[in-house]
């Protein structure tokens, strides 16, 4: 049983699995280093616990998105290099310096900001340089990159580049031609820069092959057990389990409807189980009439809409012995994978994890499985 006796709903996080996923990626990465991406509260699983786990596993580099996430991580990882993806926008500078955070410089303007404060303080500040290769989201566009390269000595005064990075748009699709295009652009960009460690790949790139590894993988979703490939076997281990308990069982006659909108009608005499888990806990409403729950490893379809606190399963095909109030029901875990739940909810595994509700209690276990 993976939840406590008082909690009827629970998010169980296997810290051992997160450590294991870090090691799995290290093996995939060959000679490249592996950095842990702990943004968005560690993909919804708890940035503090994930950060501690990574540091204990030997990880010395973290990535966060927001400045506040970096400030939060600093005391937990006093010796790690913590990259802030949002960069060195002017308001961020004092806190970046105070908390020894390393900005990922995304534009000429940010390079100028960081260079100016370094020169003013008479020291050298470390930074990563992000140049765009096709994502068109963050990072220097090609016309800014050309200016930087032409005026590198002046533009980078006071800045010690410790990483040059870019980000793949289609890495989850191993067959996408975009991967090769971005790889070529990344190599061409690196050739125009002074020698610097390089990073192109997140979890998806980690399984694209050694050409994509460069010096560092930025491991996010794989750390949390997500499959970085849209299709094919997942090299990573399940780290998050979302479970609820059966509050009530009922027998229903053929033709009876279930839940709000009466959107499900049972086609035969059967049994329904109502479980204490709803969209306020992060169980996405989109899995109504589409998703699955599992009781003792046996799957049962969601019947009707997911409501705020509750979800109903058609458990007619589950043996009576497994059906009792208080029985644990899995919606994400060893039976129902993150991929399967995301597909049923018509979204990405990333959004499933980061939507795990504020209400559901989190339980941390050291186990890997």
Ligand X SMILES: *Cc1c(COP(=O)(O)O)cnc(C)c1O
Size of the site for ligand X (CB under 6 A): 12
In the complex, minimum distance from the CB of residue 128 to ligand X, in angstroms, rounded to a whole number: 10
Task: Quote the tokens at residue 331.
Answer: 């919606």
Cα separations (Å) of 182 from 30, 134, 191, 205? 21, 6, 14, 11
Which residues, 6 or more positions from 289, have their beta carbon under 8 angstroms from its beta carbon?
A: 263, 264, 301, 302, 303, 304, 305
Q: Which of residues 322-361 bind ligand X (CB under 6 A)?
A: none
**CA 119/CA 99 separation, integer angstroms:** 19
Residue 116 or 190 with smaller CB distance to ligand X: 190
In the complex, minimum distance from the CB of residue 278 to ligand X, in angstroms, rounded to a whole number: 27
Residue 39 or 229 with smaller CB distance to ligand X: 39
* Region binding ligand X by CB under 6 A among candidate stretches 199-207, 237-245, 246-254, 326-334: 199-207
**CA 330/CA 31 separation, integer angstroms:** 38
In the complex, minimum distance from the CB of residue 85 to ligand X, in angstroms, rounded to a whole number: 5
In contact, 62 and 22? CB cutoff 8 Å: no
Task: Quote the tokens at residue 107.
Answer: 């534009």
In the complex, minimum distance from the CB of residue 134 to ligand X, in angstroms, rounded to a whole number: 13
In the complex, minimum distance from the CB of residue 218 to ligand X, in angstroms, rounded to a whole number: 4
Q: Which of residues 146-185 bind ligand X (CB under 6 A)?
A: 167
Residue 23 or 254 with smaller CB distance to ligand X: 23
In the complex, minimum distance from the CB of residue 226 to ligand X, in angstroms, rounded to a whole number: 7
**CA 64/CA 73 separation, integer angstroms:** 9
Q: Which of residues 202-231 bind ligand X (CB under 6 A)?
A: 202-204, 218-222
Segments of 54-158 assigned E as strands: 61-64, 81-84, 102-105, 125-130
- The only residue of 18, 24, 25, 37 in contact with ligand X, by rule CB under 6 A: 37
Q: Catalytic residue numbers?
A: 39, 260
Maximum distance among all alpha carbons in the chain?
A: 80
The full length of the chain comes to 369
The interface mask with ligand X, positions 277-316, x = CB under 6 A, is ----------------------------------------
* Region binding ligand X by CB under 6 A among candidate stretches 117-125, 185-193, 200-208, 319-327: 200-208
Would you give the end-to-end CA distance of the chain in angstroms? 13
When CB distances to ligand X are compared, the closest residue is 220
Q: Is 85 in the site for ligand X (CB under 6 A)?
A: yes
At 142 the three-state DSSP class reads helix
Residue 12 or 227 with smaller CB distance to ligand X: 227
* Residue 293: strand pairing partners: 300
Question: Residue 8 — φ and ψ, nearest 5°?
Answer: -90, -15
Enumerate binding residues for ligand X (CB under 6 A). 37, 39, 85, 167, 202-204, 218-222
């Amino acid at each position: 049983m993976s939840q406590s006796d008082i909690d009827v709903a629970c998010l169980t996080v296997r810290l051992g699995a997160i450590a294991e996923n870090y090691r799995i990626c290290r093996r995939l990465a060959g000679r490249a280093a592996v950095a842990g991406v702990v943004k968005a509260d560690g993909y919804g699983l708890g940035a503090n616990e994930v950060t501690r786990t990574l540091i204990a596993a030997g990880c010395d580099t973290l990535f966060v998105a927001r400045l506040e996430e970096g400030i939060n991580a600093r005391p937990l990882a006093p010796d790690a290099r913590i990259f802030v993806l949002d960069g060195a926008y002017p308001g961020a500078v004092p806190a970046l310096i105070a908390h020894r955070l390393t900005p990922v410089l995304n534009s000429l303007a940010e390079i100028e900001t960081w260079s100016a404060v370094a020169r003013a303080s008479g020291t050298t500040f470390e930074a990563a340089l992000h140049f765009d290769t096709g994502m068109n989201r963050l990072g220097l566009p090609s016309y800014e990159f050309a200016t930087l390269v032409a005026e590198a000595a002046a533009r980078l005064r006071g800045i010690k580049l410790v990483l040059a990075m870019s980000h793949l748009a289609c890495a989850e699709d191993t067959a996408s031609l975009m991967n090769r295009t971005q790889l070529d652009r990344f190599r061409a960009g690196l050739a125009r820069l002074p020698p610097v460690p390089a990073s192109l790949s997140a979890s998806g790139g980690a399984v694209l092959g050694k050409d994509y590894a460069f010096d560092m993988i930025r491991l996010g979703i794989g750390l949390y057990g997500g499959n970085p490939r849209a299709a094919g076997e997942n090299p990573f281990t399940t780290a998050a389990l979302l479970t609820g308990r059966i509050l009530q069982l009922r027998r229903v006659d053929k033709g009876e409807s279930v839940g709000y909108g009466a959107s499900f009608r049972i086609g035969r005499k059967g049994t329904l189980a109502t479980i204490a888990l709803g969209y306020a806990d992060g169980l996405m409403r989109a899995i109504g009439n589409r998703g699955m729950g599992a009781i003792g490893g046996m799957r049962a379809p969601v019947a009707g809409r997911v409501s705020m606190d509750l979800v109903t399963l058609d458990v007619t095909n589950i043996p009576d012995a497994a059906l009792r109030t208080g029985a644990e029901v899995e919606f994400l875990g060893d039976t129902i994978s993150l991929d399967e739940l995301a597909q049923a909810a018509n979204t990405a595994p990333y959004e499933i994890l980061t939507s795990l509700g504020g209400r559901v209690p989190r339980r941390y276990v050291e186990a890997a499985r």
